[in-house]
Amino acid sequence: MTGFYRIVGHELRLSVRGGIGSLVALIFFVVTVALFPLGVGPELEVLGRIAPGVVWVAALLAAMLSMERLFQTDYEDGTLELLALSPLPLELVVLAKCLAHWLSTALPLIIISPVLSLLVNMSADGLVMLIAAMFLGTPTLSLIGGVGAALTVGARRGGVLLALLVLPLYIPVLIFGVGAVEGAISGYGSTAPLMILGGLFLGALVLTPFAGAAALRLALE
């Protein structure tokens, strides 16, 4: 297990020191959300109604934006082959990479989302639920994105392709993430969407490392 933590620590240090990557994702998140009031118009009622969807879609795109380089740079400089040769199973390498991605990219998004929710006039109930739902939902995004990133290693036009692969699979998280927040705002309750988000996370946690590792082995053949 020390290998696992080493990879996570290594990735985190990389993102802190050379780390324009996760900062870019954060700025992208803020700018995207800020675009909506300009596009839809500044009426607070309208903004309040679309707020959960806006924040979630922006978070989805921001998480995906930083996904592209997850394995590509390691593949190019040979680190990936060393990781594959190490005693740590490749499945755990994928999991460690996804965890590092979540810590360095998704966690800042969650931390800054209260500020953003003010921009789009979200109620306090909605905000609390938004943070809870993002804690449950964004790990799934990192895990699914990890499979996409592993599949597109070495592909032509990897970035656009990654979006095409990953966004359809992100849709359930989006639907139930928004559903949870809207349930809290309208007072209908959000237990069911939260449980489904949890289920999606657990399912992804079990299945995606295998798919990602299979894709990486393929890239190294």
Q: How far apart, in whole angstroms, are the C-alpha atoms of residue 217 and residue 34?
A: 41
**Dist. CA 188–CA 9, nearest whole Å:** 41
* Distance separating alpha carbons of residues 88 and 7, to the nearest angstrom: 10
Give least dist CB 48 to another protein, A. 20
Which is it for the CA torsion 72, 75, 78, 80, positive or negative? positive
Q: x/- contact string, 131-160, with another protein (CB under 8 A)? A: ----------------x---xx-xxxxx--
Contact 167, 64 (CB under 8 A): yes
* 173 binds another protein, rule: CB under 8 A: no
Tokens at 15, concatenated: 């993102």
Least CB distance from residue 202 to another protein, whole Å? 13
Residue 46 beta carbon to another protein: minimum distance, rounded to whole angstroms = 18
- For another protein, which stretch binds (CB under 8 A), given 29-37, 55-63, 70-78, 210-218? 210-218
Q: How far apart are CA 57 and CA 59, in angstroms?
A: 5
Which positions lie near another protein, rule CB under 8 A?
147, 151-152, 154-158, 161, 164-165, 167-169, 171-172, 175, 203, 207-208, 211, 214-215, 218, 221
